[in-house]
Amino acid sequence: MDPIDLDRLLPAVWQANAAGDVRALLSLIREIAPPVADVERMSISETLATMRDLGILLGSVKRNGAEPVSEISTLEEVLRLLAQRSGLIPRDTIHHYIRWNPTGRRERMYTGLPMERLLMAAVRISLPRLSDAVDLCVVLDSADAGDLTFALAANELAALVGAMEHSIDTVLAGVTPEFFARTMRPFFEEIRVGDEVYLGPAAAHVPLSVVDLLVWACDHGGDEYLEFADDSVVYGLEHWKPLHGKWRRTTSLVTRVTEELKRCLPDETLSLGLYASAEALCRTMRSLMVFRGKHLTIARKAYAADIGLYELGSGGGSVAMLEAITDATRATSTLLRRSVTTHLKDLG
């Protein structure tokens, strides 16, 4: 959809960003921002496309040193109404920038540069799959660890979460830490809307923390990760919020499967369902570990003192936080793997 006519103006956005021309960017917003009355008549899809397109300009203005809503005060009411109509925050999110953004000639981008396209392609691999993984977690949460239903869903989950490895490999192959740090990161800076500030469309807001909570993090994640997960909820879809609340206070799938394994007596044959479930969870944890190991390497480079421009990542967390999450992921993965091998050994 092109409800506010951005298609024809995309090259002008890229030109203004290349030139650091904040006045041109503000003029573009004044030209295309819809009046409140138009937003009231929009379908939900049109509100999402409108927020996506305004979002590219909001991030561009901020990157060039101005607060968009302070510069154009009428924007606040428009952003708030768009937010209210869609159940999302009053600015664009990773879902607007990636999931609800067409590919090819019409792809909404800040720079138009090939490396931005590759960075977006990397997130395009995992975002829809992780969103599917959240739905699958609902199935897993209500199944008994060891049942065939649980095993089937756990195997599908392993495949979906495996997409995180492909995402980070895409970045490693095509996006330099310098490009991320110097060119892209400034577009994701927070903007002020009224009394609140909202972060930009950060890859850190893919719903991995929602999935992680149920899989392992609610009881193995550590305070730093849980706090980050709580802070990130507002950037997700509305129907994920109650799931986050529920899975924040549950027993993780890793714990459920480990306890089920313990209940199996050494001389009792491990059921097919339980073995398949445990093995699929091991693979899921392994993918998370591989993703986080590679991701940490690139994050360290992009936020190193000689390259980075900011202390914190676009999702509001630090590299030290990533280290803590990576350590906790590795420890949980090892714990689960040990528990499975011990039982297999006991069974001879």
Give buried/exposed letters for 298-314 (b at 16+ CB in 10 A, else e).
bbebbbeeeebeeeebb
- If the CB atoms of residues 79 and 206 are measured against ligand HEM, the closer one turns out to be 206
Contacts of residue 320, Cβ cutoff 8 Å, sequence gap at least 6: none
Residue 123 CB, nearest approach to ligand HEM (Å): 5
Tokens of 144: 């008994």
**Which residue spans within 114-258 are E strands per DSSP?**
191-193, 196-198
- If the CB atoms of residues 80 and 330 are measured against ligand HEM, the closer one turns out to be 330
Contacts of residue 56, Cβ cutoff 8 Å, sequence gap at least 6: 6, 13, 92, 97, 108, 109, 110
Contacts of residue 57, Cβ cutoff 8 Å, sequence gap at least 6: 13, 25, 28, 29, 32, 68
Residue 319 CB, nearest approach to ligand HEM (Å): 5
- If the CB atoms of residues 51 and 161 are measured against ligand HEM, the closer one turns out to be 161
Tell me which residue has its CB nearest to ligand HEM: 313
- If the CB atoms of residues 68 and 201 are measured against ligand HEM, the closer one turns out to be 201
Residue 77 CB, nearest approach to ligand HEM (Å): 29
Residue 122 CB, nearest approach to ligand HEM (Å): 4
Residue 313 CB, nearest approach to ligand HEM (Å): 2
Candidates 74, 68, 167; CA nearest to 119 is 167
Which residues, in sequence order, are bridge partners of residue 191? 198
Tokens of 44: 């939900």
- If the CB atoms of residues 307 and 344 are measured against ligand HEM, the closer one turns out to be 307
Contact positions vs ligand HEM (CB under 6 A) = 122-123, 126, 167-168, 171, 175, 177, 180, 202-204, 206, 208, 292, 295, 298-299, 302-303, 312-317, 319, 321-322, 325
Residue 320: Cβ-neighbour burial (10 angstroms; 0-12, 13-18, 19+)? exposed
**DSSP code for 145:** T
Residue 233 CB, nearest approach to ligand HEM (Å): 13
Does the CA dihedral 168-121-284-255 come out positive or negative? positive
Tokens of 150: 């649980």
- If the CB atoms of residues 14 and 303 are measured against ligand HEM, the closer one turns out to be 303
- If the CB atoms of residues 33 and 181 are measured against ligand HEM, the closer one turns out to be 181
Residue 261 CB, nearest approach to ligand HEM (Å): 26
